[in-house]
Amino acid sequence: MGKKPNNKMIKVVYFDEGSASDYIVIQNGGQIDWSKKENKEKLAKILTEIDVQAKGGFNLLSLAKAAISGSMQVGYDATSAKMAESTITNTLLTDYIEFANKDTCVKKFHNKYVYAPENSVSMYKMYSSYLNVVPKDQMPIDLGELNNAILGERGYYQMLVSNDDGSKQVLRFNINTFKNGYTLADLSKMNLSFFGVNVGTCVEDDLSMENEFKFESSNKKPPSAQEVVKGIHETDGNRLEIFDIVLAGVMHDQS
């Protein structure tokens, strides 16, 4: 049996901390039990790292509680708060990678390039910022209003990934969880690894801007019983799996 590759994340491009935190809590069977030896050791390591960075001077236990609960406001300066949050985020990241690497339910895409579906909202999002270089008085429409109408409060954007066998899958990204200044447009230029969870399926045509905003007619004729039984009305052969991505970055094979 060949040796399994020992992949290490060396650059984080995207990390959905909320989803990762929920996943780790579930893997732990509920809220983290800090009475367990391994969790005590983990907490002690976090506090030690914060103490070393801050050179002491404040109540570490209170700081840790505040950082974990998200209530870092009173009694701590911004630098201390940032160090605590950064340390806990790094612990969350390493814990997620450790759990996810062992979990067959988490899909891993390694050494992949993604691209926006043709004529999609994702493609519009990627290029809309470049329209700002055109003076407003030369634009036939109000760009701000157009962006609001198309993008609105949208949180997730779809990208496509192609496999060696010619098949495709849809990767969805939370626009608010990119790291280190990266944006949706950067994804198509980078060779990355992705960790995601299957959340459903769609057909590729559904990803076009035209079809995303198209509402099905209420008087559309339903399939007959014969069509349902024979599978004439709809086939699953052209459906693409959709994965919500939790982590994306550059990985290095240490094997």
Estimate the share of the chain in helix, then strand, then coil, as percent rounded to the nearest 5. 40, 25, 35
**Backbone phi, then psi, for 148, in 5-degree steps?**
-65, -40
Same domain, 93 and 142: no
Q: Quote the number of domains for the chain.
A: 2
Distance of CA 211 to the CA centre of its chain: 24
The answer on 57 and 149 residing in a single domain is no
Tens-binned pLDDT, residue by residue, of the chain (255 aa): 444 455 688 999 999 998 998 998 888 776 655 555 665 666 666 666 666 665 555 555 555 555 555 554 444 455 555 555 665 667 788 889 999 999 999 999 999 999 999 989 888 888 776 666 556 665 555 656 666 767 777 889 999 999 888 899 999 999 999 999 999 999 999 999 999 999 999 999 999 988 877 654 445 555 555 555 544 444 456 899 999 999 999 987 655
1 in any annotated domain? no
Could you tell me how many residues make up the chain? 255
Residue 115 and residue 32 share a domain: no
- Asked whether residue 77 falls in the same domain as residue 115, the answer is no
* Angle 77-82-42 from CA coordinates, rounded to 5°: 115
Q: Do both 228 and 131 map to the same domain?
A: yes
Same domain flag for 63 and 114: no
Q: Do 215 and 132 lie in a common domain?
A: yes
Q: What pLDDT does 149 receive?
A: 64
Q: Are 163 and 111 in contact (CB under 8 A)?
A: no
Taken in order 223, 226, 229, 231, is the CA torsion positive or negative? Answer: negative
Instruction: Give a yes or no: residue 3 inside a domain.
Output: no
pTM summary value: 0.70
Residues 99 and 115 grouped into a single domain: no
Same domain, 119 and 97: no
- Asked if residue 23 belongs to a domain, the reply is yes
Are residues 135 and 226 located together in one domain of the fold?
Answer: yes
Which region, left, alpha or beta, applies to residue 57 given φ > 0 means left and ψ of -120 to 50 means alpha? Answer: left
Sequence-separated (6 or more) residues with CB below 8 Å from residue 43: 34, 64
Whether 68 and 17 have beta carbons less than 8 Å apart is answered as no
The pLDDT of residue 28 is 76
Report how far residue 185's alpha carbon sits from residue 128's, in angstroms, rounded to the nearest whole number.
10
In this structure, are 26 and 129 located in the same domain? no
With respect to residue 85, please indicate whether it lies within any of the assigned structural domains. Answer: yes
From 49, 69, 103, give the residue that closes a domain.
103
**How much is the pLDDT for 187?**
93
Which domain range does residue 98 map to? 9-103
Out of 77, 103, 129, a domain closes at: 103
User: Helix 37-54 vs helix 60-69: angle between axes, to the nearest 10 degrees?
Assistant: 110
* 80 and 123 both lie in a single domain: no
Domain final residue, candidates 67, 84, 103: 103
| Distances 19 to 37, 188, 193, 246 between C-alpha atoms, Å | 25, 23, 17, 7
* Whether the Cβ atoms of residue 242 and residue 203 lie closer than 8 Å to each other: no
Whether 182 maps to a domain, the answer reads: yes
Q: Is residue 45 part of a domain?
A: yes
Contacts of 28 (CB under 8 A, 6+ apart): none
Whether residue 210 lies inside any domain: the answer is yes
Whether 144 is covered by a domain: the verdict is yes
